[in-house]
Amino acid sequence: MTLPLLMFFLLAALAVAGAVSLILARHPIRSALSLIVVMVALAGLYLLLGAEFVAMVQIIVYAGAIMVLFVLVIMLLNAGEEERTNLSRLAGPPGLLLAGALAAFLVTAAARSGQFIAAGGSEAPSGAVSTRALSGLLFREFVFPFELTSFLILVAILGALVLAQRENS
Amino acid sequence: MVPTSYYIILSAVLFGLGIVAFVFKRNVITVFMSIELMLNAVNLAFVAFSRALGRLDGQVFVLFVIVVAAAEAAVGLGIIILIARQRQSLNVERANLLKF
């Protein structure tokens, strides 16, 4: 087994273990920590795929900013262990069945399309070239969507401010 | 070289686990986190296809998805704080104002 394949299986196992731990954990803070494990494992997979810039953005924005926001809200609301009701137990089996069916469908579709994907395969550009080409693409071809995202973030900031302010002010 | 289909299968498995978490978890914050997990699974598929096709458009889309996820987290957590204030609970079953 070659080193990239070994790394892939190691990181994939880490990501799946983190996702399973997110489901099994009763306390929200444990779910948040397992989600961070998934994100770091995915960043490693991006490095393996030759997408260095995306890997760094994944660590900085996802694990660094978004998850800190989640953990902060969990602390702010003093979230405890989740309670189980009869309805939530009832929803279990059909939900598991449907999710399993969807994942099985996606896996078979991916496995069947393997030869099509392999046909178009080519060597990934190396790190510095890849990041340079990415920024060129982002600031030339995708410059309008890129500017729109700044507008989206502005609207999100305003929305969060309006939602979180006190009602009597 | 790791075959691209391995990455796609891992992405599908993570997406399925995200759906399971979305259906099973009763805490609003954890339900929201499972959405983030599904977005991450889709990002992995984007980057894998980007390498397989030798084009970088997929990575640009991943950046956009991350931006949208950040905006969604900011607004969504604001809504969660409001729900927690109104209902004094983080259980999704208590957030039933729109329920018929």
Instruction: Please give the pLDDT value at position A167.
Output: 67
The CATH architecture that domain A1-80 belongs to is Up-down Bundle (1.20)
Q: How many CB pairs under 8 A join A and B?
A: 241
Residue scoring higher pLDDT (A164 or A57): A57
Q: Residue B71 and residue A155: Cβ atoms within 8 Å?
A: yes
Instruction: Please give the pLDDT value at position B55.
Output: 83
Give first-to-last CA distance, chain B, whole Å.
Answer: 53
User: Cβ of A76 under 8 Å from any chain B Cβ?
Assistant: yes
Does the pLDDT value for residue A118 go beyond 70? no
Give first-to-last CA distance, chain A, whole Å.
Answer: 64
* Nearest Cβ partner for A156 among B34, B51, B74: B74
Tokens of B71: 């905006």
pTM: 0.86
Chain A residues touching B18 at Cβ < 8 A: 19
Number of other CB atoms surrounding residue A147 within 10 Å: 9
To the nearest whole Å, the CA of A136 is away from the closest chain B CA by: 10
The per-residue pLDDT for range A57-79, each reduced to its tens digit, is: 999 998 888 999 999 988 888 77
The per-residue pLDDT for range B47-89, each reduced to its tens digit, is: 998 888 888 888 999 999 999 999 999 899 888 888 888 888 7
Alpha carbon A140 to its chain's center: 27
Q: Residue B69 and residue A8: Cβ atoms within 8 Å?
A: no
Does the pLDDT value for residue B91 go beyond 90? no
Burial readout B40-61 (b: 16 or more C-beta within 10 A, e: otherwise): bbebbbbbbbbbbeeebebbbb
Task: Spell out the domains of chain B, with CATH numbers in brackets.
Answer: 4-90 (1.10.287.3510)
SS3 A116: helix
What number is the average pLDDT over the span A22-28?
88
What number is the average pLDDT over the span A103-122?
66
